[in-house]
């Protein structure tokens, strides 16, 4: 039987087209006005948004179709509106919202790595263990980001951390909250077939890549439970 699953079509929506149009317009505006920061922010967002397609062409691994436009919109919100538009200073919640979204998606990526161990099949432990590992991965990446901000400020005299330690500790706390949501959302999708916001990224990624998630089947949509502790399973663990 041919177990290949259809590759997801690229996302094509008004929001995606609008985001690319805005990014292109900002890039041109920055170049014409000589605003290097604006041009770099818009151009960088477009380059990062193109990386998923490049990675798929290079590896054959299919990424969720919403990932590329999501990266573009996120980068425009962070660098375009946040840095160039001054939203970080005008709206205290702007940075918090971005950290929540980023850490949630990172936790979903952590769960995707956990499922690699069973090729997308039923784990031999409770799902809560996978959630702990997913949160740990997101916290690791978040900590590395804060370390990068500190290094940039120390080396170039910038103010990426703004208020210093309070800003860093606040970001770390928000990252953990967002990562916890992402892990819980993934667990709900795997165990009960629920679809909390963002959890579809994980489900789509696993379903579209049988080469690495060969044990993933449609039954996951209705509930993924812990695999029974059979003698073979105990032997494998030994």
Sequential pLDDT tens for the chain (238 residues)? 444 444 444 455 777 888 899 899 989 998 998 888 888 889 999 999 999 999 999 999 999 999 999 999 999 998 888 888 888 889 989 999 999 999 999 999 999 999 999 998 888 888 999 999 999 999 999 999 888 878 877 776 666 666 677 878 888 999 999 999 999 999 999 988 889 999 999 999 999 999 999 988 754 444 555 554 444 444 444 4
pTM to 2 decimals? Answer: 0.81
Mind spelling out the 3-state secondary structure of the chain?
A: CCCCCCCCCCCCCHHHHHHHHHHHHHHHHHHHHCCHHHHHHHHHHHHHHHHHHHHHHHHCCCCCCCHHHHHHHHHHHHHHHHHHCCHHHHCHHHHHHHHHHHHHHHHHHHHHHHHHCCCCCCCCCCHHHHHHHHHHHHHHHHHHHHHHHHHHHHHHCCCCCCCCHHHHHHHHHHHHHHHHHHHHHHHHHHHHCCCCCCCHHHHHHHHCCCCCCCCCCHHHHHCCCCCCCCHHHHHHHC
164 and 217, same domain (yes or no): yes
Clarify whether residues 80 and 164 are in a common domain: no
Last residue of a domain, one of 55, 90, 125: 90
Do 124 and 155 belong to one domain?
Answer: yes
Residues contacting 6, CB < 8 A, separation 6+: none
User: 112 and 214 share a domain?
Assistant: yes
Picking from 90, 123, 155, the residue at the C-terminal end of a domain is 90
Tell which residue, 114, 123, 117, 127, has the closest CA to residue 189: 127
Find out whether 52 and 67 touch, Cβ atoms under 8 Å.
Answer: yes
Q: Are residues 119 and 196 in the same domain?
A: yes
Task: Give the separation between CA 181 and CA 91, rounded to whole angstroms.
Answer: 23
Q: Note whether residue 21 is domain-resident.
A: yes
Is residue 105 domain-resident? yes
Domain termination site, one of 47, 69, 90: 90
Could you tell me if 147 and 46 lie in one domain?
no
Residue 123's pLDDT is 84
**Per-residue pLDDT, 156:** 64
Same-domain check for residues 193 and 137: yes
Note down the domain range covering 216.
Answer: 92-231
Question: Could you give the 3-state DSSP secondary structure of residue 206?
Answer: helix
Question: Structurally, how many domains does the chain consist of?
Answer: 2
**pLDDT score for 8:** 47
């Amino acid at each position: 039987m041919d177990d290949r699953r259809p590759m997801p079509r690229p996302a094509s929506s008004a929001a995606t087209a609008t985001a690319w149009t805005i990014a292109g317009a900002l890039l041109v505006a920055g170049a014409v006005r000589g605003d290097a920061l604006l041009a770099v922010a818009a151009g960088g967002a477009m380059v990062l948004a193109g990386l998923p397609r490049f990675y798929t062409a290079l590896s054959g691994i299919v990424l969720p179709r919403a990932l590329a436009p999501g990266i573009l919109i996120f980068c425009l919100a962070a660098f375009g509106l946040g840095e160039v538009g001054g939203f970080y200073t005008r709206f205290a919640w702007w940075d918090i919202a971005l950290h929540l979204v980023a850490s949630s998606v990172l936790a979903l990526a952590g769960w995707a790595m956990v499922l690699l161990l069973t090729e997308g099949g039923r784990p031999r432990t409770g799902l809560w263990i996978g959630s702990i590992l997913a949160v740990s991965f997101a916290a690791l990446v978040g900590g590395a980001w804060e370390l990068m901000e500190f290094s940039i400020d120390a080396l170039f005299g910038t103010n990426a951390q703004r208020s210093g330690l309070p800003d860093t500790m606040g970001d770390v706390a928000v990252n953990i909250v967002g990562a916890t949501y992402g892990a819980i959302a993934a667990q709900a999708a795997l165990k009960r077939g629920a679809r909390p916001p963002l959890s579809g990224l994980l489900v789509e990624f696993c379903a579209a890549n049988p080469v690495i998630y060969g044990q993933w089947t449609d039954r996951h949509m209705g509930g993924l439970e812990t695999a029974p502790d059979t003698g073979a399973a105990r032997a494998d663990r030994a």
